[in-house]
Each structure stands twice: as structure tokens, then as C-alpha cells.
Amino acid sequence: MRHVPHRALVLLLLAGSIALPGCAGSTGGEAALLPSGPYTLTPEEMALDCRKLTGRLQVRLLALRGEEYKVQPSSAAQSMRSATSAALGTDTAKNAAQRAANDRPILDAYNRRLVDLGCPSFDIEKELKARPSAPTPYPSIPARPKRAS
């Protein structure tokens, strides 16, 4: 058996994966990650009660909070992720940033809906700045008293 072609193939693939990050296309940087505008609630979301909207907000806040506290991967891990992403056509870091950019308008829309329903609402900025290990967020802004018509 000859293993030389296999070694050559492995070396070729390794060299290609190192060169690929420089060839990967760009969508124009951070500007491409900005959401297109305010989020419009769907009819299903408009029908949600205070408890369900609060739960959805809590889940999204927990997923997004404490970005500045998250440990960044080492440069070697970032390089390997870049090479793998380029080879497989994925970009997990960009996808995470895109999800975060898309989730913020949804958080704001849900929170406005809570206020419209007369429910306690969240201080979204405070909750997003909290450490990931902080307790589950709860509405901290009391409900407005309903006005008599």
C-alpha cells in the first residue's frame, strides 16, 4: 500500500484551509448586521398575554445578556474557526452577531406591547448589561395604572 497520495492530499487540504479565510467573501462589515428597522409584532404575538410575553422576553434577554463578560476564544481557536467557517461556508461569529442585531428590535417591540397591555415591563438596557450568571430577569418597571375612560 502506498500512503503517499493520502499524505499529499492531507497537506493540500491543510494548505487550502489556511488560504481560504483570505478568500472568504464579505457582506460589507458591521453595517450588514444592522436590523432593517423596527419589528412589527405578528397577529399571534399581539394575542399573547402578559405572562407569555414576559416569558419570551426573559428567554431572549438570557440569551443576549452580558456580551462584554463573555470570554473570547484564543487567537488559535479563532483562526481554526475562521478556516473551518470558510471551508464549510458558515460563519458562526457573524451569525451570532446577526441574531443579536435581529433580537434587539424584537425585545423592544415585546416590551412596548407589555406597556400597552398595562403589564410590568423590563429595563432592557440594564438587563442586557447584566452578567450572564445574574438571576433570571423580571420586569422592574411597574405597570401604568389604567386610566378611566
Tell me the per-residue pLDDT of 86-121, one tens digit each, with 9 for 90 and over: 777 666 666 667 777 888 999 999 999 999 999 999
Q: Which comes out higher in pLDDT, residue 45 or 95?
A: 45
Confirm if 144 and 82 have CB atoms less than 8 A apart: no
Q: Is residue 29 part of a domain?
A: no
**pLDDT at residue 17, rounded to an integer:** 53
pTM over 0.85: no
Q: Is residue 148 part of a domain?
A: no
Element counts in the chain: helices (H) and strands (E): 6, 0
Stretch 20-28: mean pLDDT: 43
pLDDT at position 35 over 90: no
Domain limits at 57? Answer: 40-141
Total of domains in the chain: 1
Q: Is residue 102 part of a domain?
A: yes
Q: Is residue 21 part of a domain?
A: no
Q: Is residue 7 part of a domain?
A: no
For residues 112 and 118, what is the distance between their CA atoms, to the nearest angstrom?
A: 10
Q: Is residue 51 part of a domain?
A: yes
Q: Is residue 20 part of a domain?
A: no
Confirm if 65 and 128 have CB atoms less than 8 A apart: yes
Q: Is residue 24 part of a domain?
A: no
